[in-house]
A = this chain, B = another copy of it.
Amino acid sequence: MTVLDQIADAIGTDRILTGVDAAPYGKDWTGAYTSTPMAVLRPANTAEVAAILKIAHATKTPIVPASGRTGLTGATLAEGALMLSVERLNEITEINVAGRTATVGAGVILSNLHDVAEEHGLIFPLTLGARGSAMIGGLLSTNAGGSNVVRYGSTRGLCLGLEVVMADGRIMNLMSALHKDNSGLDLRNLIIGAEGTLGIITAAVLKLKPKPQAYATAMVAVPSLPDALDLLHRLQDETGGGVEAFEYMPRSYIDKHMQLFPDVTGPFEAIYDINVMIEVAATRAKDARPQDDGSLPVVSALEETLGAMLENGTVLDAVIAQNDNQRSEIWKRREDAGEVAFFGGVFVNTDVAVPLDKVEAFEKALTPRIKAIDPEAEEVIVAHLGDGNIHHTSYITRNDPGVIDAMTEAVEDVVQELGGSFSAEHGIGVSKLETMKRRKDPVALDAMRAIKAALDPNNILNPGKVIPTA
């Protein structure tokens, strides 16, 4: 009996897509990574995931878990493999308002969780451009970041409990809703960010946060990146850590964005080199209570800080959103980053982190090296400045693997010189396997290989991803 016959026996044929039905799953959001899975499996519950893995384990059949397929590193490439989509595990089982937790299936779409949490006066604070497609399983498996990490941390910091189907089909129940739990090795954080190589996440307990009662959102132009950091620190001090987003968009990004979306006007009448999107939340009830003149304290705090810096020249220009439409417009410019990066043509896209105060040094060191490789290369940067996380894209004139490799290595060199990481928030997938091999501590790589072999001895879970061969 073939593997697919065994699986059909176990969970029914209606769970299995092949041929043209499976074809769309061979593509991801980027369009850059395509594959032809043997079949796509869509189990309806954890028991079915377990049944599939038991068969895959016994037959040594590769399994690639997938959810929204919005990742940027090719982690769901499934050439000839079984793709296991968790899309049907899409139930929000519980919103615990008192405990501020959500219990969810791995197939829940991020924006659906946003909506349901809001109905209860709470938020799930993780957000990113792909939130209408990205699912909890993939967000956890890649430890996704996004624009609110400066305030709430990455996905890992928002997860309390996990249910995981291990390589042999056994179900590991770590579905705790506790904030403190020191009962042995930290398997939860090991599975989070493992990109499906150690087990398949089927459900999770997530933290919810109180919904800020008001926001102040602005676009600001500053003369230099140190001025931007000074602004960040002043705002954190004045608001007690209330900065929710602090996003750097240099002129290169604004230009490319306007080229891609010609109907959108620029953030300011003038054109500036250094633009920052800022969002501050009213974290104290008091800061959201209108004052006598109708103004909100959270907005006044932002205005006062910007006003003082405008006066001494450390802020050049500022626009504060006056309504929800203006706020959405400011956010949209930032959230189009995916479209901007994958604009077309030949490009080298990176996702690196450096210490907060080294973003300027990164730019200065990198540009001449990029130009030395391809004098006509065009650079675009967008960065989560509050985290030191830079997305740098080089649009190059020749589709030459040698040039692409040289550009990638140039970025890695600068990152390494500055004590940074070559993968800040997107993960490894297949796109950074070579980089892992070159740059990651060799003892750490061996530890990863040993753990992988121990937990998935038949190497069936997303094989060939994340951990380079020795």
Binding site for B on A (CB under 8 A): 98-99, 142-143, 145, 149, 154, 156-157, 166, 170-174, 176-187, 189-190, 192-194, 197-198, 210, 237-242, 283-287, 353-357, 384, 387-389, 419-428, 432, 436, 439-441, 443-448, 450-455, 466-467
Contacts and interface: CB of A to CB of B under 8 A. Distances in A.
Nearest to A467: B184
A100 B114 CA distance: 32
A184 B357 contact: no
B447 A166 contact: yes
Nearest to A164: B443
A440 B184 contact: yes
B189 A190 contact: yes
Given A166-B443, A237-B284, A284-B237, A356 B184 contact: no
A448 B237 contact: no
Contacts of A428: 182-184
A140 to B, nearest CB: 12
Given A284-B238, A353-B178, A194 B185 contact: yes
Contacts of A99: 355-357
B183 A440 contact: yes
Nearest to A351: B182
A166 B439 CA distance: 19
A389 B180 CA distance: 7
Contacts of A441: 172-174
A451 B448 contact: no
Top 4 A-B pairs ranked by shortest CB distance?
A454-B454, A240-B283, A189-B189, A450-B454
A379 to B, nearest CB: 21
Contacts of A452: 185
Contact of A427 (B182, B190, B193, B357): B182
A187 B388 contact: no
B355 A178 contact: yes
Give the interface centre of A240, A466, A467 by most chain B CB atoms within 10 Å.
A240
Contact of A183 (B187, B388, B436, B453): B436
20 contacts: A99-B355, A99-B357, A143-B186, A145-B182, A156-B186, A172-B447, A178-B419, A178-B421, A179-B387, A180-B353, A183-B432, A183-B439, A184-B448, A185-B198, A189-B189, A190-B451, A238-B284, A239-B240, A450-B454, A451-B454
A194 B467 CA distance: 23
Contacts of A98: 356-357
Contacts of A192: 186
A157 B450 CA distance: 26
Contacts of A425: 180, 182
Give the interface centre of A182, A420, A453 by most chain B CB atoms within 10 Å.
A182
A137 to B, nearest CB: 16
Given A238-B285, A353-B179, A419-B177, A187 B454 contact: no
Contacts of A180: 145, 149, 154, 353, 384, 387-389, 421, 424-425
